[in-house]
Protein backbone atom coordinates (compact mmCIF):
# COMPACT_ATOMS: atom_id res chain seq x y z
CA UNK A 1 0.00 0.00 0.00
CA UNK A 2 1.11 3.52 -0.75
CA UNK A 3 2.12 5.80 2.13
CA UNK A 4 3.20 9.40 2.46
CA UNK A 5 5.28 11.60 4.66
CA UNK A 6 4.32 15.25 4.30
CA UNK A 7 6.42 17.96 5.91
CA UNK A 8 5.32 21.38 7.04
CA UNK A 9 7.56 22.99 4.39
CA UNK A 10 5.45 21.36 1.68
CA UNK A 11 7.75 18.47 0.81
CA UNK A 12 5.97 15.17 0.29
CA UNK A 13 7.69 11.78 0.13
CA UNK A 14 5.81 8.88 -1.31
CA UNK A 15 6.67 5.27 -0.58
CA UNK A 16 5.22 2.03 0.67
CA UNK A 17 3.32 1.60 3.91
CA UNK A 18 4.20 -0.84 6.67
CA UNK A 19 3.14 -1.32 10.24
CA UNK A 20 -0.12 0.30 11.25
CA UNK A 21 -2.35 2.07 8.75
CA UNK A 22 -3.24 4.94 11.11
CA UNK A 23 -2.14 8.47 10.26
CA UNK A 24 0.10 10.20 12.80
CA UNK A 25 1.70 13.59 12.96
CA UNK A 26 4.81 14.47 14.89
CA UNK A 27 8.16 16.15 14.84
CA UNK A 28 10.30 14.51 12.13
CA UNK A 29 13.81 13.70 13.34
CA UNK A 30 16.64 11.51 12.03
CA UNK A 31 18.87 9.07 13.86
CA UNK A 32 22.24 8.03 12.38
CA UNK A 33 22.74 4.86 14.43
CA UNK A 34 23.27 1.80 12.23
CA UNK A 35 21.82 -0.69 14.72
CA UNK A 36 19.30 -0.59 17.54
CA UNK A 37 15.97 0.20 15.85
CA UNK A 38 13.93 -1.74 18.41
CA UNK A 39 15.56 0.21 21.24
CA UNK A 40 14.93 3.45 19.41
CA UNK A 41 11.27 2.59 18.86
CA UNK A 42 10.79 1.79 22.54
CA UNK A 43 12.77 4.75 23.89
CA UNK A 44 10.14 7.04 25.50
CA UNK A 45 12.22 10.09 24.58
CA UNK A 46 10.92 9.68 21.00
CA UNK A 47 7.35 10.24 22.12
CA UNK A 48 5.78 12.79 19.80
CA UNK A 49 8.29 12.20 17.03
CA UNK A 50 8.42 10.53 13.65
CA UNK A 51 11.82 8.89 13.43
CA UNK A 52 13.81 8.53 10.21
CA UNK A 53 16.71 6.11 10.25
CA UNK A 54 19.61 7.08 8.02
CA UNK A 55 20.92 3.52 7.74
CA UNK A 56 19.04 2.12 4.74
CA UNK A 57 18.55 -1.56 5.60
CA UNK A 58 16.29 -1.87 8.63
CA UNK A 59 14.61 -4.88 10.19
CA UNK A 60 17.42 -7.28 9.31
CA UNK A 61 17.52 -8.89 12.74
CA UNK A 62 13.81 -8.68 13.43
CA UNK A 63 12.47 -7.79 16.85
CA UNK A 64 12.82 -9.79 20.03
CA UNK A 65 11.51 -9.98 23.57
CA UNK A 66 14.57 -8.39 25.20
CA UNK A 67 15.35 -5.21 23.35
CA UNK A 68 12.66 -3.08 24.93
CA UNK A 69 13.71 0.19 26.53
CA UNK A 70 10.22 0.58 27.95
CA UNK A 71 7.02 -1.40 27.87
CA UNK A 72 6.06 -0.34 24.38
CA UNK A 73 7.15 1.78 21.44
CA UNK A 74 6.49 5.50 21.63
CA UNK A 75 7.44 6.88 18.25
CA UNK A 76 4.60 8.42 16.25
CA UNK A 77 5.89 7.08 12.98
CA UNK A 78 8.86 5.27 11.52
CA UNK A 79 10.57 5.97 8.18
CA UNK A 80 13.16 3.69 6.57
CA UNK A 81 14.76 3.25 3.19
CA UNK A 82 14.30 -0.51 2.98
CA UNK A 83 12.37 -2.72 5.35
CA UNK A 84 13.62 -6.27 5.70
CA UNK A 85 10.91 -8.82 5.22
CA UNK A 86 12.95 -11.88 6.22
CA UNK A 87 14.87 -11.12 9.37
CA UNK A 88 17.64 -13.41 10.46
CA UNK A 89 18.80 -13.51 14.06
CA UNK A 90 18.54 -16.18 16.70
CA UNK A 91 16.60 -13.89 19.05
CA UNK A 92 14.10 -12.65 16.48
CA UNK A 93 10.49 -13.45 17.29
CA UNK A 94 8.65 -10.98 15.09
CA UNK A 95 9.23 -9.06 11.89
CA UNK A 96 9.57 -5.32 12.29
CA UNK A 97 6.50 -4.83 10.12
CA UNK A 98 4.36 -6.95 12.45
CA UNK A 99 5.87 -5.28 15.48
CA UNK A 100 4.88 -1.85 14.20
CA UNK A 101 1.43 -3.09 13.33
CA UNK A 102 1.01 -4.63 16.77
CA UNK A 103 1.89 -1.36 18.50
CA UNK A 104 0.02 0.92 16.12
CA UNK A 105 3.03 2.61 14.55
CA UNK A 106 2.61 3.76 10.97
CA UNK A 107 5.68 3.08 8.85
CA UNK A 108 6.95 4.36 5.54
CA UNK A 109 9.56 2.56 3.46
CA UNK A 110 11.11 2.94 0.02
CA UNK A 111 11.75 6.67 0.13
CA UNK A 112 15.03 8.55 -0.30
CA UNK A 113 15.80 8.83 3.40
CA UNK A 114 19.08 10.58 2.68
CA UNK A 115 17.28 13.33 0.78
CA UNK A 116 14.91 13.67 3.76
CA UNK A 117 17.81 13.75 6.20
CA UNK A 118 19.59 16.42 4.21
CA UNK A 119 16.42 18.49 4.23
CA UNK A 120 16.08 18.18 8.01
CA UNK A 121 19.76 18.98 8.44
CA UNK A 122 19.56 22.07 6.24
CA UNK A 123 16.23 23.46 7.41
CA UNK A 124 15.93 21.97 10.88
CA UNK A 125 13.47 19.47 12.31
CA UNK A 126 9.94 19.95 11.07
CA UNK A 127 6.46 18.80 11.81
CA UNK A 128 5.21 16.09 9.53
CA UNK A 129 2.52 13.55 9.05
CA UNK A 130 2.64 9.93 7.98
CA UNK A 131 -0.45 8.54 6.27
CA UNK A 132 -1.19 5.56 4.08
CA UNK A 133 -3.71 4.74 1.37
CA UNK A 134 -5.18 7.22 -1.10
CA UNK A 135 -4.29 10.67 0.16
CA UNK A 136 -4.28 14.22 -1.12
CA UNK A 137 -0.71 15.42 -0.62
CA UNK A 138 -1.80 19.03 -0.25
CA UNK A 139 -4.14 18.17 2.55
CA UNK A 140 -1.41 16.22 4.24
CA UNK A 141 0.90 19.22 4.12
CA UNK A 142 -1.83 21.31 5.72
CA UNK A 143 -2.26 18.66 8.38
CA UNK A 144 1.48 18.73 9.05
CA UNK A 145 1.36 22.49 9.41
CA UNK A 146 -1.51 22.15 11.83
CA UNK A 147 0.20 19.55 13.98
CA UNK A 148 1.21 20.61 17.47
CA UNK A 149 4.78 21.76 18.02
CA UNK A 150 7.00 19.54 20.15
CA UNK A 151 7.14 22.34 22.71
CA UNK A 152 3.96 23.04 24.59
CA UNK A 153 2.90 19.43 24.91
CA UNK A 154 3.54 17.73 28.22
CA UNK A 155 4.78 14.52 26.64
CA UNK A 156 6.41 13.44 29.88
CA UNK A 157 3.00 12.95 31.43
CA UNK A 158 2.16 10.47 28.67
CA UNK A 159 5.21 8.28 29.08
CA UNK A 160 5.93 8.39 32.80
CA UNK A 161 5.00 5.48 35.03
CA UNK A 162 1.83 6.01 36.98
CA UNK A 163 2.70 3.70 39.81
CA UNK A 164 5.92 3.34 41.68
CA UNK A 165 7.98 0.42 40.44
CA UNK A 166 10.72 -1.26 42.38
CA UNK A 167 13.68 -2.76 40.52
CA UNK A 168 16.41 -4.84 42.13
CA UNK A 169 17.11 -5.49 45.76
CA UNK A 170 20.56 -4.13 46.39
CA UNK A 171 21.66 -2.22 49.47
CA UNK A 172 21.92 1.16 47.73
CA UNK A 173 18.61 2.97 47.45
CA UNK A 174 18.13 5.08 44.33
CA UNK A 175 15.03 6.92 43.26
CA UNK A 176 14.73 7.34 39.50
CA UNK A 177 12.32 10.08 38.54
CA UNK A 178 10.63 8.73 35.45
CA UNK A 179 10.37 11.38 32.76
CA UNK A 180 10.46 8.53 30.25
CA UNK A 181 13.33 6.44 31.57
CA UNK A 182 15.01 3.86 29.37
CA UNK A 183 15.12 0.47 31.03
CA UNK A 184 18.85 0.24 30.59
CA UNK A 185 19.29 3.10 33.07
CA UNK A 186 17.44 1.00 35.62
CA UNK A 187 19.39 -2.12 34.66
CA UNK A 188 22.67 -0.21 34.92
CA UNK A 189 21.75 0.75 38.49
CA UNK A 190 20.49 -2.69 39.45
CA UNK A 191 23.77 -4.15 38.17
CA UNK A 192 25.53 -1.83 40.60
CA UNK A 193 23.64 -3.29 43.54
CA UNK A 194 20.87 -0.76 43.80
CA UNK A 195 17.26 -1.01 44.75
CA UNK A 196 15.63 1.32 42.29
CA UNK A 197 12.37 3.11 43.01
CA UNK A 198 10.97 4.31 39.72
CA UNK A 199 8.57 7.13 40.57
CA UNK A 200 6.19 9.19 38.42
CA UNK A 201 7.48 12.45 36.98
CA UNK A 202 5.06 14.46 39.12
CA UNK A 203 6.28 13.00 42.42
CA UNK A 204 7.11 15.84 44.80
CA UNK A 205 10.47 16.39 46.39
CA UNK A 206 9.12 15.49 49.74
CA UNK A 207 7.71 12.20 48.49
CA UNK A 208 11.01 11.37 46.83
CA UNK A 209 12.94 12.06 50.00
CA UNK A 210 10.52 9.86 51.89
CA UNK A 211 12.14 6.86 50.19
CA UNK A 212 15.31 7.85 52.07
CA UNK A 213 17.29 7.48 48.88
CA UNK A 214 21.08 7.40 48.79
CA UNK A 215 20.76 9.16 45.47
CA UNK A 216 18.30 10.38 42.85
CA UNK A 217 18.53 9.92 39.09
CA UNK A 218 16.65 12.29 36.83
CA UNK A 219 15.87 10.25 33.76
CA UNK A 220 15.71 10.97 30.09
CA UNK A 221 12.40 11.78 28.50
CA UNK A 222 10.64 13.43 25.59
CA UNK A 223 9.98 17.02 24.64
CA UNK A 224 10.88 20.48 25.85
CA UNK A 225 12.18 20.69 29.44
CA UNK A 226 10.27 23.92 29.87
CA UNK A 227 7.04 21.98 29.54
CA UNK A 228 7.78 20.19 32.81
CA UNK A 229 8.35 23.10 35.15
CA UNK A 230 6.75 21.06 37.94
CA UNK A 231 9.71 18.71 37.68
CA UNK A 232 12.11 21.63 37.74
CA UNK A 233 10.46 22.68 40.99
CA UNK A 234 10.85 19.16 42.41
CA UNK A 235 14.53 19.12 41.55
CA UNK A 236 15.04 22.50 43.25
CA UNK A 237 13.72 20.87 46.41
CA UNK A 238 16.16 17.97 46.07
CA UNK A 239 19.37 19.90 45.36
CA UNK A 240 21.53 19.95 48.42
CA UNK A 241 19.59 17.20 50.12
CA UNK A 242 20.64 14.18 48.13
CA UNK A 243 23.21 13.28 45.44
CA UNK A 244 21.71 13.72 41.97
CA UNK A 245 22.57 12.41 38.54
CA UNK A 246 20.71 13.74 35.51
CA UNK A 247 20.54 12.10 32.11
CA UNK A 248 19.36 13.84 28.92
CA UNK A 249 16.01 15.52 29.77
CA UNK A 250 17.00 15.04 33.44
CA UNK A 251 20.15 17.04 32.68
CA UNK A 252 18.14 19.86 31.12
CA UNK A 253 15.70 19.90 34.02
CA UNK A 254 18.62 20.06 36.44
CA UNK A 255 20.08 22.98 34.50
CA UNK A 256 16.78 24.82 34.70
CA UNK A 257 16.55 24.07 38.42
CA UNK A 258 20.03 25.55 38.89
CA UNK A 259 18.89 28.74 37.17
CA UNK A 260 20.16 27.97 33.71
CA UNK A 261 18.34 28.10 30.41
CA UNK A 262 17.72 25.68 27.55
CA UNK A 263 17.16 26.14 23.83
CA UNK A 264 16.09 24.08 20.86
CA UNK A 265 18.78 22.74 18.52
CA UNK A 266 18.32 23.01 14.77
CA UNK A 267 18.08 19.29 14.20
CA UNK A 268 19.35 17.82 17.45
CA UNK A 269 21.76 14.98 18.14
CA UNK A 270 20.44 11.51 17.54
CA UNK A 271 22.75 8.60 16.97
CA UNK A 272 25.42 6.37 18.42
CA UNK A 273 28.58 8.16 17.32
CA UNK A 274 28.74 11.53 19.04
CA UNK A 275 32.15 12.36 20.48
CA UNK A 276 32.06 14.04 23.86
CA UNK A 277 35.03 15.38 25.75
CA UNK A 278 35.26 14.96 29.50
CA UNK A 279 36.61 18.43 30.28
CA UNK A 280 38.39 17.28 33.40
CA UNK A 281 40.43 14.44 31.93
CA UNK A 282 40.50 15.59 28.32
CA UNK A 283 39.42 12.11 27.31
CA UNK A 284 36.88 11.73 24.54
CA UNK A 285 34.08 9.20 24.65
CA UNK A 286 31.82 8.06 21.86
CA UNK A 287 28.29 8.47 23.16
CA UNK A 288 24.75 7.57 22.38
CA UNK A 289 22.55 10.64 22.03
CA UNK A 290 18.96 11.57 21.56
CA UNK A 291 18.05 15.16 22.24
CA UNK A 292 16.54 18.13 20.47
CA UNK A 293 17.15 20.67 23.24
CA UNK A 294 20.38 21.75 24.89
CA UNK A 295 21.58 23.73 27.88
CA UNK A 296 22.69 27.30 27.20
CA UNK A 297 26.20 27.56 28.59
CA UNK A 298 26.14 31.31 29.25
CA UNK A 299 23.02 30.98 31.38
CA UNK A 300 24.67 28.81 34.00
CA UNK A 301 25.55 30.34 37.37
CA UNK A 302 29.35 30.29 37.26
CA UNK A 303 29.71 30.15 41.00
CA UNK A 304 27.73 26.94 41.28
CA UNK A 305 28.21 24.78 38.20
CA UNK A 306 30.82 24.02 35.58
CA UNK A 307 30.50 22.43 32.19
CA UNK A 308 31.95 18.97 32.68
CA UNK A 309 31.43 17.59 29.18
CA UNK A 310 31.35 19.16 25.79
CA UNK A 311 30.38 17.93 22.34
CA UNK A 312 33.45 17.68 20.12
CA UNK A 313 31.54 18.42 16.93
CA UNK A 314 29.63 21.58 17.83
CA UNK A 315 30.93 22.52 21.28
CA UNK A 316 27.50 22.30 22.92
CA UNK A 317 27.14 21.54 26.63
CA UNK A 318 27.07 17.79 27.24
CA UNK A 319 27.44 17.69 31.01
CA UNK A 320 27.28 19.74 34.19
CA UNK A 321 28.92 19.38 37.57
CA UNK A 322 27.96 21.24 40.70
CA UNK A 323 30.99 22.85 42.30
CA UNK A 324 29.98 22.17 45.90
CA UNK A 325 27.31 19.53 45.90
CA UNK A 326 27.25 15.89 44.74
CA UNK A 327 25.15 16.82 41.72
CA UNK A 328 25.99 16.21 38.08
CA UNK A 329 24.28 15.51 34.80
CA UNK A 330 25.01 14.54 31.23
CA UNK A 331 23.18 15.26 28.02
CA UNK A 332 24.10 11.92 26.46
CA UNK A 333 23.21 8.36 27.42
CA UNK A 334 25.79 6.54 29.51
CA UNK A 335 23.50 3.51 29.36
CA UNK A 336 23.86 3.29 25.56
CA UNK A 337 21.03 1.08 24.33
CA UNK A 338 21.31 1.56 21.49
CA UNK A 339 24.87 2.69 21.15
CA UNK A 340 28.20 2.48 22.88
CA UNK A 341 28.65 1.92 26.60
CA UNK A 342 31.96 3.80 26.77
CA UNK A 343 30.65 6.33 29.28
CA UNK A 344 29.14 3.71 31.60
CA UNK A 345 31.81 4.85 34.08
CA UNK A 346 29.49 7.72 34.97
CA UNK A 347 27.23 5.30 36.82
CA UNK A 348 30.27 4.18 38.80
CA UNK A 349 31.04 7.77 39.46
CA UNK A 350 27.50 8.24 40.76
CA UNK A 351 27.75 5.17 42.97
CA UNK A 352 30.97 6.54 44.45
CA UNK A 353 29.10 9.70 45.32
CA UNK A 354 26.58 7.71 47.28
CA UNK A 355 29.10 5.70 49.23
Residues with Cβ < 8 Å from 251, sequence gap 6 or more? 218, 295, 319, 320, 329, 330, 331
Residue 248 among the catalytic residues: yes
Contact 160, 169 (CB under 8 A): no
Q: Which is nearer to another protein, 92 or 204 (CB)?
A: 92
Q: Count other Cβ atoms within 10 Å, centred on residue 55.
A: 18
Alpha-carbon span 139 to 90, nearest angstrom: 44
Give the shortest CB-258-to-another protein separation in angstroms: 28
Q: What does the binding site for another protein look like in residue numbers (CB under 8 A)?
A: 30, 32-36, 38-39, 54-57, 60-61, 64, 66-67, 81-82, 84, 86-91, 111-115, 117-118, 121, 271-275, 277, 282-284, 286, 312-313, 336-342
- DSSP code per residue over 215-282: EEEE---SS-GGGGHHHHHHHHHHTTTS-EEEETHHHHHHHHHTT-EEEEEEEEEEEEEEEEEETTT-
Residue 309 among the catalytic residues: no
Q: Which is nearer to another protein, 84 or 306 (CB)?
A: 84
DSSP code, position 104: T
Give the shortest CB-44-to-another protein separation in angstroms: 17
For residue 14, give the 3-state DSSP assignment: strand
What is the side-by-side strand order in the sheet with 317-322?
165-167, 194-200, 172-178, 215-218, 244-247, 327-330, 317-322, 305-311, 261-278, 284-296
Residue tagged active-site, from 8, 69, 318, 335:
335
Cα maximum dimension of the chain: 61
Residue 333 among the catalytic residues: yes
Give the shortest CB-144-to-another protein separation in angstroms: 19
For residue 62, give the 3-state DSSP assignment: coil
Give the shortest CB-294-to-another protein separation in angstroms: 16
Burial class (CB in 10 A: 0-12, 13-18, 19+), 158: middle
Q: Which is nearer to another protein, 84 or 307 (CB)?
A: 84
Give the shortest CB-37-to-another protein separation in angstroms: 8
Q: How far is CA 115 from CA 30, 157, 291, 303, 335, in A?
A: 11, 34, 22, 45, 31
Give the shortest CB-63-to-another protein separation in angstroms: 9
Q: Which is nearer to another protein, 43 or 224 (CB)?
A: 43
Q: Which is nearer to another protein, 30 or 197 (CB)?
A: 30
Q: Which is nearer to another protein, 36 or 334 (CB)?
A: 36
Closest CA to 320 of 265, 241, 229, 239: 239
Residue tagged active-site, from 69, 248, 251, 269:
248
Residue 238 dihedral angles phi and psi, to the nearest 5°: -85, -30
Active site residues per annotation: 248, 333, 335
Amino acid sequence: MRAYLALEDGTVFQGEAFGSDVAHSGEVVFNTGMTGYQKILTDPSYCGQIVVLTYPLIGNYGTNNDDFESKKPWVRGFVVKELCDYPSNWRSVMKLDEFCRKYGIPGLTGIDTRALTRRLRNYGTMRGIIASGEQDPEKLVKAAQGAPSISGQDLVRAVSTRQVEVWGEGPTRVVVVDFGAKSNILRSLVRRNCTVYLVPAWTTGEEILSYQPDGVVLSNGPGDPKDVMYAVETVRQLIGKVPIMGICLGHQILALALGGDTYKLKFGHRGSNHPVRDCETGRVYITSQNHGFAVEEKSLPESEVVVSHRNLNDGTVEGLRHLKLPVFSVQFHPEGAPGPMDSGYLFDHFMNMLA
